[in-house]
Amino acid sequence: MTMTFDGMWSAIAPIGREASTGGYRRYAWTPQDAMMREWFAGEASRRGLDLVVDLAGNQWAWWGDPDAAVASGRPGLVIGSHLDSVPDGGAFDGPLGVVSALAVVDTLKAKDFLPSRPIAVVNFVDEEGARFGIACAGSRLITGKLDPDTARGLRDADGVTMAEAMGAAGHPVEHVGPDGETVARIGAFVELHVEQGRGLIELGRPVAVGSVIRPHGRWRIDLDGQANHAGTTRLKDRRDPMLDLASVIQAARAAASAQGCVATVGKVRVEPNGVNAIPSRVTAWLDARGPGEAEVRAVVESVGVRSGGLAVQESWTPETVFDVPLADRLSALLDNAPMLATAAGHDAGVLATAGVSAGMLFVRNPTGISHSPVEFAERQDCLSGIEALTAVTEELAR
Amino acid sequence: MTMTFDGMWSAIAPIGREASTGGYRRYAWTPQDAMMREWFAGEASRRGLDLVVDLAGNQWAWWGDPDAAVASGRPGLVIGSHLDSVPDGGAFDGPLGVVSALAVVDTLKAKDFLPSRPIAVVNFVDEEGARFGIACAGSRLITGKLDPDTARGLRDADGVTMAEAMGAAGHPVEHVGPDGETVARIGAFVELHVEQGRGLIELGRPVAVGSVIRPHGRWRIDLDGQANHAGTTRLKDRRDPMLDLASVIQAARAAASAQGCVATVGKVRVEPNGVNAIPSRVTAWLDARGPGEAEVRAVVESVGVRSGGLAVQESWTPETVFDVPLADRLSALLDNAPMLATAAGHDAGVLATAGVSAGMLFVRNPTGISHSPVEFAERQDCLSGIEALTAVTEELAR
């Protein structure tokens, strides 16, 4: 197992890595994404798995016949995660789950395990939404939670639509949309993921089981001003939206602190963004998450009121509770692994909301840092994660 | 005169105009800039003027022999301005001065005026510094105020160097640098420019004479943070440079107000600029100008101290007083036109600092707005400006 893990990890390490930052730029439907998908297809083929690409572009590598299992009333077990990244993301967020799932298949095949139901390794497309702004686009599309026409029309920073990007990557765009046949094949889904916080550091454990995904959303705040000369316009004659941006940033932090939430302004667009011009417009994106919907909504309202800007909701994910009997079973199986809530969205959460029995395993992150080039997990903890996922897979496909 | 003004104005109106904003994007050494330069060369040729391109790329259209005038001890009179723009700039900032100067030549030729010294119309290259960050690059280079190796190595947002951009535009980059021969030909320089403030509105006059350019500069402030996940990182574990940006913006405004200066954060760069990532770094550019150097330096120091960032000076222009006898003479000639100070930099200021007798005429701006698509001047005021520049040219070349 360790051999195949190390080999796979080395194979994908250079793909989409930006030399200047050390971070990854693997955005959906780009050449970098295509290289990751080709690598996945090759790994499936090498193991004799049947590769299926669904209507949204998610890749499924099946060990066994998924449709016979559906017909017999006991559909398959799916393990895996995603291979795309945020801008300058780390190596682990996503790929650790896919590589671990492939390593599980190797381990089970090596010990001549005979699954009682088909097993798939999945690579969900466009989990991060880094390019088109909607996270978990692949799982949302197949479960009908993202309208296909809306998706096709989403534009990246260069004005390229998702439809154009899919087309350029060779994916047939006309059939993108709900894919009931694919969803019906998922009897259960377990996603292994690097932890994106410090929970396991404090607990002193290598692996945890996911309990809930806290409610979270994204809002866009447009702040209008009046473009003018930076040198010759008196302060009293200015309508400078940069001052409103300062209010947004500070209001978000203050309201999050008051409500027990987290709030982040991580993306800003300034027009025209000239050193000697007062901006005509500043757009800020607010990411807010918290223990409950009321708290998160209070943060967003406070930011809008205090900045004078209008917060337009771009996405909203209510609290998602993972399948409780499944989570309990996983925890018991894994030496009473601790349960962890998370404020990060995942494809497992989208599937859970769609009625799929879904669960997650988290692998310890020794710094708590994620969405960063320095994101890390110790090799020994990664191997513990694969051991745990192997045990879970054996249990659920015995 | 009105015919040629209207015709020239229409001819350049579409060049480099961005349909989505209505503003101009005419940046140095781009295809849009090349179209403006070709247009200028054509206008020179049509009038029988001799076109000379100096070592930095500035265009000079001479009526008469500049070198004979230098030899005789009474070098030429230069009128004109620049044809490039800030991002989404207006139609008037720059082109009004060049078009007016060409219209002056038409008027003088139509009345068979015989100049006692050669007259040139100039188009200074890269006045705005929109692409490579250094304003008045053309006039600074020929007067030795910008080091040629520094200039050649400046990079635009895409990483293209000024040397590469000049080369791509067909300008020989190896000789870029101080051009004493060109500077020696300038006996006097008068630059007509749209006003970039509300002085003439309040005075109820169409034309003013420039008195001084107030001290001004640009600073870059790097704010470092720690990239991390926007959802899973506790507030207390964050190092979020966006909060420092808010401090920079507010400190700049407060200090400018206290010091009687203006200060602007018009340009911001966020890395990696992802909705769900705490930024690893935010860079802000500060433009500050005021009545004196002490006040401006106090603003910059206050911003640095209050934000925790280090302000790196990218450019600094001390107070520039235009040739006082020339300014008095222009004012007297123009029905005692009012004298106006400005906080905007101009090539006329760079030449004045280099010891050239230089002056400016300002044309009323009915909104005070500049560096914006809505920048405007009434046609009647533009014609008044041409009349004034004609009178000045006759006076100085009689």
CB contact (8 A) between residue A274 and residue B371 = yes
Q: Residue B121: its pLDDT value, please?
A: 98
pLDDT in tens, A48-59: 999 999 999 999
Same domain, yes or no: A166 and A250: no
Q: Closest to B266 (Cβ–Cβ): which among A133, A230, A342?
A: A230
Residue indicated by tokens 């004012």: B331
Instruction: Say if residue B49 is in the same domain as residue B147.
Output: yes
> Total structural domains in chain A?
2
Let me know whether A40 and A163 are in one domain: yes
Domain boundary among A260, A288, A317: A317
A97–chain B nearest CA distance, Å: 18
Q: Same domain for A268 and A333? A: no
pLDDT score, position A310: 81
If asked whether residues A249 and A294 sit together in one domain, one would say yes
Task: Tell me how long chain B is.
Answer: 398
| A224 and A194 within one domain | no
CA dihedral B125, B131, B134, B137 (to 10 degrees): -10
Amino acid identity at B66: P
Range A110-127 average pLDDT: 97
DSSP string covering B307-344? HT-EEEEEEEE--EE--HHHHHHHHHHTTSPPEEEESS
Instruction: Give dist(CA A137, CA A139) in Å, integer.
Output: 6
B214 and B288 Cβ atoms separated by less than 8 Å? no
Query: Which of B317, B339, B369 corresponds to the end of one domain?
Result: B317
Residues constituting chain A: 398
Give the CA distances from residue A344 to residues A67, A212, B337, in Å, rounded to whole numbers and listed in that order. Answer: 32, 10, 66
Q: How far is B347 from chain A (nearest CA, A)?
A: 15
Of A246, A271, A289, the CB nearest to B231: A289
Chain B positions touching A344 (Cβ under 8 A) are 229, 231-232
Q: Of A121, A149, A155, A124, whose CA–CA distance to A137 is shortest?
A: A124
Question: What's the pLDDT tens digit per position in A128-145?
Answer: 999 998 999 999 999 999
Side-chain half-sphere CA neighbours of B296 within 13 A: 24
pLDDT tens digits for A16-52? Answer: 999 999 999 999 999 999 999 999 999 999 999 999 9
Per-residue pLDDT for A116 more than 80? yes
* CB spacing of B264 vs A285 below 8 angstroms: no
Range(s) of the domain holding residue B223:
217-317
For testing contact with chain B, the best of A226, A228, A257 (most B CBs within 10 A): A228
DSSP β-ladder status, B358-363 and B186-194: parallel
ipTM over 0.85? The verdict is no
Residue A57: closest CA among A158, A157, A148: A148
Asked if B373's CB is within 8 angstroms of A87's CB, the reply is no
Nearest to A370 among B198, B228, B345 (CB): B228
| Residue B229 shares a structural domain with residue B293 | yes
| Gap between the Cα atoms of B259 and A297, Å rounded | 40
CA distance A234 to A78: 63
Peptide bond before A31: cis, by omega within 30 degrees of 0?
no
How is residue B99 written in tokens? Answer: 């078009």
Q: How far apart are CA A334 and CA A168, in angstroms?
A: 44
Residues of A in Cβ contact (< 8 Å) with B231: 196, 214, 216, 262, 287, 289, 342-345
Q: What is the pLDDT along chain B (398 residues), one digit of tens a residue?
A: 556 899 999 999 999 999 999 999 999 999 999 999 999 999 999 999 999 999 999 999 999 999 999 999 999 999 999 999 999 999 999 999 999 999 999 999 999 999 999 999 999 999 999 999 899 999 999 999 999 999 999 999 899 999 999 999 999 999 999 999 999 999 999 999 999 999 999 999 999 999 999 999 999 999 999 999 999 999 999 999 999 999 999 999 999 999 999 999 999 999 999 998 999 999 999 999 999 999 999 999 999 887 777 899 988 989 999 999 999 999 999 999 999 999 899 999 999 999 999 999 999 999 999 999 999 999 999 999 999 999 999 999 99
Band (A1; pLDDT cuts 50, 70, 90): low
Asked if residue A156 and residue A46 are part of one domain, the reply reads yes
Pairing of strands B339-342, B119-124: unpaired
If asked whether residues A334 and A352 sit together in one domain, one would say yes
Contact A372 B228 (CB under 8 A): yes
Instruction: Using the predicted structure, report yes or no on whether residue A2 has a pLDDT greater than 70.
Output: no
For residue A308, what pLDDT band results from cuts at 50, 70 and 90?
A: confident
Alpha-carbon distance of B49 to B40, in angstroms, equals: 11
Q: Are B45 and B59 in contact (CB under 8 A)?
A: no
Which residues in chain B have their CB less than 8 angstroms from residue A129's CB?
275
Which of A223, A275, A299 to substitute to test the interface with B, most B CBs within 10 Å? A275
| CA–CA gap between residue A317 and residue A327 (Å, rounded) | 21
Beta-strand runs (E) in A235-349: 262-271, 277-278, 281-289, 310-317, 320-321, 339-342
The minimum CA-CA distance between A65 and chain B, rounded to whole Å, is: 38
CB contact under 8 A, A87 and B274: yes
Query: What CATH number does residue B348 fall under?
Result: 3.40.630.10
Task: Please report, for the domain that includes residue A224, its CATH number.
Answer: 3.30.70.360
- How high is the pLDDT of residue A3? 61
Q: Residue A235 and residue B228: Cβ atoms within 8 Å?
A: no
Eight-state DSSP code of residue A162: H
Each residue of A346-384: pLDDT tens digit?
A: 999 999 999 999 999 999 999 999 999 999 999 999 999
Please tell me the pTM assigned to this model. 0.83
pLDDT, chain A, mean: 95
Give the distance from residue A373's alpha carbon to the nearest chain B alpha carbon, in angstroms: 8
Q: Which residues contact A144 (CB under 8 A, 6 or more apart)?
A: A177, A178, A354
Between helix A241-259 and helix A293-307 the angle, nearest 10°, is: 150
Cα separation, A59 vs A53, in Å, equals 5
Query: Is residue B243 located within the same domain as residue B323?
Result: no
The label of the residue with tokens 């895996």 reads A80
pLDDT tens for residues A219-236?
999 999 999 999 999 999
Kindly report the nearest CA distance between residue B64 and chain A, in angstroms: 37
The DSSP letter of residue A17 is: B
B387-B390-B396 Cα angle (round to 5): 145
Give the mean pLDDT of A245-260: 97
CA nearest to B376 within chain A: A228
Residues A344 and A306 both lie in one domain: no
| pLDDT given at position A367 | 94
Q: Are residues A274 and A348 in the same domain?
A: no
Q: Does the pLDDT at position A154 exceed 60?
A: yes
**Final residue of a structural domain among A317, A347, A369:** A317
* Tokens linked to B236: 């207390």
Contact (CB, 8 A) for B377 and B197: no
Q: Do A9 and A99 form a contact (C-beta atoms < 8 A)?
A: yes
